[in-house]
Amino acid sequence: MTETSAAPAPGLRERKKQRTRSALIDAAFDLFLAKGYEATTIDEIVAAVDVSQRTFFRYFAGKEDLAVSVMRAYDQLFLELLAARPTEEPPIAALAATINGVFDEVRRSGDDHARFAKVRDLIENNPALAMAQLRYFNELEQEMASILARRMDVELATDLRPTLVAATFLTVMRVAFEGCAREGLFQPDEVAARVEEVFAMASETLPRVWSGG
Amino acid sequence: MTETSAAPAPGLRERKKQRTRSALIDAAFDLFLAKGYEATTIDEIVAAVDVSQRTFFRYFAGKEDLAVSVMRAYDQLFLELLAARPTEEPPIAALAATINGVFDEVRRSGDDHARFAKVRDLIENNPALAMAQLRYFNELEQEMASILARRMDVELATDLRPTLVAATFLTVMRVAFEGCAREGLFQPDEVAARVEEVFAMASETLPRVWSGG
DNA sequence: AGAATTTATGTCAGCTGCTGACAGATGACA
DNA sequence: TGTCATCTGTCAGCAGCTGACATAAATTCT
């Protein structure tokens, strides 16, 4: 079995980079949880890792970027899983199956359970971070739309339907997440259950409402 | 006919405040359009109006806040019109009628035509501003959901459907706006037409997609 | 192995956004 | 007219963020 594309031994340099990156994230979240997001300065974070402030900004676009970076990993996974779904599947079924796949992965990576909950808690309870996450949802939306366009065999540039479906799907997800946050549900299983619930609600409500019932 | 709530002659003080507020907005947009949003500093804005920087922050939460403040006026109008729609109207029809009412108002206030186009152009072409607008869309969403909950006669706190409908509606609007931006359409009529178009597309596409077709 | 090259990091210097605290000016109201 | 509330200016400072340049480390080439 040959190497999969472009990953032939990470190399010392790359390993070091990943290590500092992780160290920054870990230190940051320790501080965030200890004294709050806003009250934590970048100087404190870099001091904890013993790295210059300039280096911080070479890894992350800013404090917000770091805070949501953990979630972005799952977004990436989402896109990969979505692209891998069979083409004949109807769009909404593919999306539903994909999101379940992501939650499976979250559950599988046992160590991150606690972190997942903490991160979600942190983000949903900070207006600034919730907004930062909206930004990345938006980027996700465009990539999702692009994948959906291929599946639906239409031109993304001229046909707004893929974008519409992607945007609506993410909106449903967001409503589910916000609902969880309001009730303090942050465990993967709880979140997954709520997503499924809201998904079902959307399937029942939206068609009725939008066709003028 | 009695005075409508709390508006018995604005008073000199209030008029002055409104004047500075307008002056700040006007000066800011002049600069934004002349040299771009990011390149314009708050110092330049306040210098143009001959006001201290501190005063700026007493009127606006920040540069972003000023930039989207013009649009927020329409958001407020939207909520008022929505609350005034007859209760027996189905939700989606009420929303559609309301948005048309807002565009009517934009067209009616002739002076603002040019400004409306300029503001939309500015916002949609600045990632930071587009995000700021998302934030206000989010606030709008909650107030919309609250009004819809009354109409649908359900509890907002326990029933996610009003939120779901509001969120989906705003998503459709946003897709329409972004579509306009991509094609450089910023005149009220053009935007209104596009909104109606995407609205129709959603009515046709979403029910089909979400019921698994 | 040693030189050459690329890349990550540190240092420094500076701008911009934003806020608190206090003092002075100005409209509101009796 | 005088008192009071509110708006505004000044100042001082923190935090986020960036460009430019120098240094150190890793990778590659010979």
Residue B213 has pLDDT above 60, yes or no: no
Pick from B178, B179, B206: CB nearest A210: B206
The per-residue pLDDT for range B138-188, each reduced to its tens digit, is: 889 999 999 999 999 999 999 999 999 999 999 999 999 999 999 999 888
Residue B7 has pLDDT above 50, yes or no: no
Pick from A90, A93, A161: CB nearest B205: A161
Count of alpha carbons within 13 angstroms of residue A116, beta-carbon side: 22
Closest CA–CA distance from residue B47 to any residue of chain A (Å): 29
Answer yes or no: are the C-beta atoms of B142 and B149 closer than 8 Å: no
The per-residue pLDDT for range B62-116, each reduced to its tens digit, is: 999 999 998 988 899 999 999 999 999 999 999 999 999 999 998 888 766 778 8
- Nearest to A45, CA basis, from A61, A64, A30: A30
Q: What is the CA radius of gyration of chain B?
A: 19
Q: What is the pLDDT of residue B42?
A: 97
Q: What is the pLDDT of residue A138?
A: 87
- Take residue B167 and report the two structure tokens written for it: 């969120």
Q: What is the pLDDT of residue A109?
A: 81
Angstrom CA distances, A201 to A8, B34, B58, B105, B165, stand at 46, 48, 43, 35, 11
Interchain proximity A202–B213, CB inside 8 Å: no
CA of B12 vs C1' of C1, distance in Å?
85
- Take residue B31 and report the two structure tokens written for it: 């600069």
Q: Which nucleotide is nearest to A53 (CA to C1')?
A: C10
Interchain proximity A175–B198, CB inside 8 Å: no
Q: What is the mean pLDDT of chain B?
A: 90
> What ranges in chain A are assigned the alpha helix state H?
11-35, 42-49, 53-59, 63-84, 91-108, 112-124, 127-152, 161-183, 188-210
Q: Which amino acid is at A201?
A: M
Complete DSSP assignment for A90-123: -HHHHHHHHHHHHHHHHHHSTTHHHHHHHHHHHH
Q: What is the pLDDT of residue B112?
A: 65
Which positions of chain A have pLDDT values less than 50?
1-7
CB contact burial A122-161 (16+ within 10 A = b; e otherwise) = bbbebeebbbbbbbbbbebbebbbebbbebbeeebeeebb
C-alpha span between A123 and A67 (Å, rounded): 8
The pTM score is 0.89
Say whether B64 sits in a helix, a strand or coil.
Answer: helix
Q: What is the pLDDT of residue A61?
A: 96
Q: Which amino acid is at B30?
A: D
On whether any CB of chain B is under 8 Å from the CB of A140, the answer is no
The per-residue pLDDT for range B14-48, each reduced to its tens digit, is: 999 999 999 999 999 999 999 999 999 999 999 99
C-alpha span between A102 and A144 (Å, rounded): 15
| Residue numbers of A between 79 and 108 with CB closer than 8 Å to B | 90-93
| Residue numbers of A between 174 and 213 with CB closer than 8 Å to B | 174-175, 178-179, 198, 201-203, 205-207, 209-213
Closest CA–CA distance from residue A194 to any residue of chain B (Å): 11
- Nearest to A123, CA basis, from A67, A72, A45: A67
C-alpha span between B167 and A167 (Å, rounded): 10
The fraction of chain B above a pLDDT of 90, given in percent, is 71
Q: Which nucleotide is nearest to B61 (CA to C1')?
A: C18
Question: The tokens 């029809």 sit on which residue?
Answer: B93
Mean pLDDT of B197-209: 91
- Nearest to B28, CA basis, from B115, B139, B131: B115
Answer yes or no: are the C-beta atoms of B206 and A207 closer than 8 Å: yes
Q: What is the pLDDT of residue B12?
A: 79
